[in-house]
Structure formats: structure tokens, C-alpha cells
Amino acid sequence: MPASVTAALLVIGDEILTGRTKDKNIGYVAEYLTGIGIDLREVRIVPDEEAEIVSAVRALSERYTYLFTTGGIGPTHDDITADSIAKAFGVGIDLDPRAVALLSERYKPGELNEARLRMARIPAGADLIENPISKAPGFKLGNIIVMAGVPSIMQTMLDQVAPTLETGARMIIETLEADGLAEGLYAEGLGAIAQAHPTVSIGSYPSFSSSGFRNQIVVRGKDPAQVGGAVAAVRSLLERLRSSAVPARRPL
């Protein structure tokens, strides 16, 4: 098992950048990949413009084990993901007989017009990712996994492709409640614990709620002993502070 399998996610679509559509895929993909032992290291959102897609696809696919994309694989003129990816890699793109066969299950011969056939344009050498909901497939070309933007379809595509991917050690994530303690009170101790556990990443996340605030400390790492040691150290820091500090009225 490799120590670390990494990924980036590229979200393609003007509708996300104008705020017209609120993305629902980033959080889902992040949690999903973390859960199967793939570290999501970067996310980018770019418009429906070929030059932007080509340049992001090249940069991200070179840098990480996998690049996932969402959006831009429908039948309309603004769906240019497949063509942009073929261009990024200098491979051909044409109607793929396997994809045409899948679309033919859904559309009668007269219905399968030129626009709908755009959804069967697949770069040469790609493996298809089936789409049980609307048939138009995603695909995997090299280390790039191209998925639909509609969340329900994206999710079924991720389920299909996941078992074929290399995965690494899974991240162990432990959350500790720091209720009643302000970040500024435990920050110094937390920094010392982080320094003493270099393979572990420790984050502190204040959030506000109707009942006041809620601070949580999250310890993440792949070495169970290191994570366990850091969690124990954080727990004893919080206990020590709780026994001496006046309950905070504010999170920071």
C-alpha cells in the first residue's frame, strides 16, 4: 500500500462562479475520498472556457495521483469538458461506439440527434464510467476521472470508479470538544503538541451557534500511535485548562 495517494478536484462551470448554482460536490467528494484513503490536496473551480480547463487539467493531473472533474459533459454547446481533456493530452476525440450503445438504450434512433451524440464523444483510450440515471457516461483517461455535475449522477459515478482506484493508508480523524474554552487559551499548548507530533495535523475550529459557540479540535494522521498520543495530549491539556479557567464567553 503506497504511503499516500493524492487527488485534486476540478469543478467546471460558469454557474458555480456566478453563484447561480451552489456547488454540492466538493464537500461530498472530499469526505468520500478521505474515507477511502485518497488525500484530496487541492480543489479548483474554473469557467466553461477551453483554455482554462486545459491549463488546470494539465497542472493538476501532473501533480497528483488522480484528478477528478465534475461538470460540462451534457449535450449543449457549453459542455466542453471531454473535448478540452482530449486537447490537454493531445489525444483524438470522436463518437465512441460503446457510449453510443449506452445512449441508444435510452433514446430511440430518431431521438439520438447530433446534440445528444455529443455526450458520446469520448477521448481515445478512455474507459467509460456508466451512468445509470441518464445513461450519458463519464470516463477515465489516464489518471483523470471525468464525472457529471449533477450531484446524484456524480455520486453514482464515484461509487463505480472508486473500487478501481489505488488507495493509501486511511486518515484517522479524531474530534475533541473544547466547549467552554476559548481558542486563545489552548492555542499555545496545542501548538506545542502539534510540534511534538510532526506526522499529525491538528486543527482548531471555532463555530458560532444560537446557544453561543462551539470549539472543536480535530487531530488527523495516518499513524495510529502518533494520533493516539496527540489525542491523549490534547485531552489532558483541555482537562487541565477546564479545572483552572473561568468558562469563556467567546470562542477566540
Identify residues 196-235 at the interface with its own copies (CB under 8 A).
201-208, 218, 220
* Cβ–Cβ < 8 Å for 171, 39: yes
Write out the binding residues for its own copies, residues 105-124 only, by CB under 8 A.
Answer: 106-107, 111, 113-116, 118-119
Q: Out of 134, 143, 167, 226, name the contact with its own copies by CB under 8 A.
A: 134
Q: Which stretch binds its own copies (CB under 8 A): 88-96, 158-166, 180-188, 225-233?
A: 180-188
Please tell me whether residue 180 binds its own copies under the rule CB under 8 A: no
Residues paired with 71 in a beta bridge: none
CB of 212 to its own copies, least distance (A): 13
Q: Considering only CA atoms, which of 115, 163, 157 is closest in space to residue 138?
A: 157
Asked if residue 6 lies in contact with residue 32, where contact means CB atoms within 8 angstroms, the answer is no
Enter the DSSP assignment of 118.
G
* Site for its own copies, residues 146 to 175, rule: CB under 8 A: 150, 152, 171, 173, 175
* Residue with smaller CB distance to its own copies, 89 or 186: 186
State the minimum distance, in angstroms, from the CB of residue 34 to its own copies. 5
Positions in 71-100 near its own copies (CB under 8 A): 74-78
Q: How many residues bind its own copies (CB under 8 A)?
A: 76
Q: How far is the CB of 125 from its own copies (least distance, A)?
A: 25
Note the helical H segments in the chain: 14-17, 26-36, 50-63, 81-89, 97-106, 114-117, 151-161, 183-196, 224-244
What residues pair up with 146 in beta bridges, in sequence order? 69, 139
Within 64-182, where are the H helices? 81-89, 97-106, 114-117, 151-161
| 188 Cβ neighbours under 8 A, 6+ residues apart | none
Using CB under 8 A as the binding rule, whether residue 62 contacts its own copies is answered as: no
Amino acid sitting at position 168? G
Residue 16 binds its own copies, judged by CB under 8 A? yes
97 by DSSP, 3-state: which? helix
- Report the distance separating Cα 36 and Cα 211, nearest Å: 35
Q: Which C-beta is closer to its own copies: that of 32 or that of 91?
A: 32
Nearest residue (CB) to its own copies, 90 versus 110: 110
179 binds its own copies (CB under 8 A): no
Q: How far is the CB of 89 from its own copies (least distance, A)?
A: 22
